[in-house]
Amino acid sequence: MTVTASPQSGQQGTIGDASRLKAAGGISPWWYNWVDRHRVAGIALVGVIATQLGTYFGYVFPAVGLPTVPWPLYNGALGLLGKEFNTPGSFFVGQTLHYVNGIVFAILYAVLFLPLMPFRNTRGGNLLSAIIYTLIMTVISIGFLVPYAYVPHQGYGFFSFYGPDGWKLPAAVLLWHLIYGFFLGTLYMVKNHDGYEAA
């Protein structure tokens, strides 16, 4: 049974109607109810989950002919200003920076980006919002971070197309962000002020 608050009460309802959940892909109602009740912890946890799953797939991209996208390794070298590479210290720094990035970008999505999207009140709309958000992240990543922060002065050029992997590196970075966005858009669902699902 769904408990829905009236718009005048200012209270949040719960997300539990079986038909809506079935339409939302069958994800268990307790998850969305928990995220709705604990919005900061919920989006932070979604950020960790999306980052972990994206990272896993980033390491196995060679199985589909794309280069590995080892963000923790890159972040470790960047965090230690290139003084250490592939050491226990760089691993710890890289993992920390990588997951902090994943959480911060998830929070920015929930607080700043998602509320601007006019089609966020459906599961598909929320997923589309997350995909658009991660496309913007991809442009920033391959247009600026990879060629100018991670591998500066190495000739990666315009949107990283001129590195040793050619078009495959931008494709891998895009796929990584799409995976992150898929889980971000699928797992984060809360109610808006009118009591409707923002899925």
- SS3 at position 191: strand
Q: Taking Cα atoms as reference points, which of 147, 141, 145, 143 lies closest to residue 177?
A: 141
Please report, for the chain, the start and end positions of each structural domain, with discontinuous segments joined by +.
45-198
The model's pTM? 0.79
Cα–Cα distance, 161 to 171 (Å, whole number)? 10
Per-residue pLDDT of the chain in tens (199 residues, 90 and over written 9): 333 333 344 444 444 444 454 444 556 788 888 998 999 999 999 999 999 999 999 999 999 999 999 888 888 877 776 666 667 777 888 899 999 999 999 999 999 999 998 876 677 888 999 999 999 999 998 888 887 877 777 777 777 887 888 899 899 999 999 999 999 999 998 876 444 444 4
The answer to whether 55 touches 71, Cβ cutoff 8 Å, is yes
Count of alpha carbons within 13 angstroms of residue 111, beta-carbon side:
13
Structure tokens, 106? 């998830």
For residue 190, the SS3 value is strand
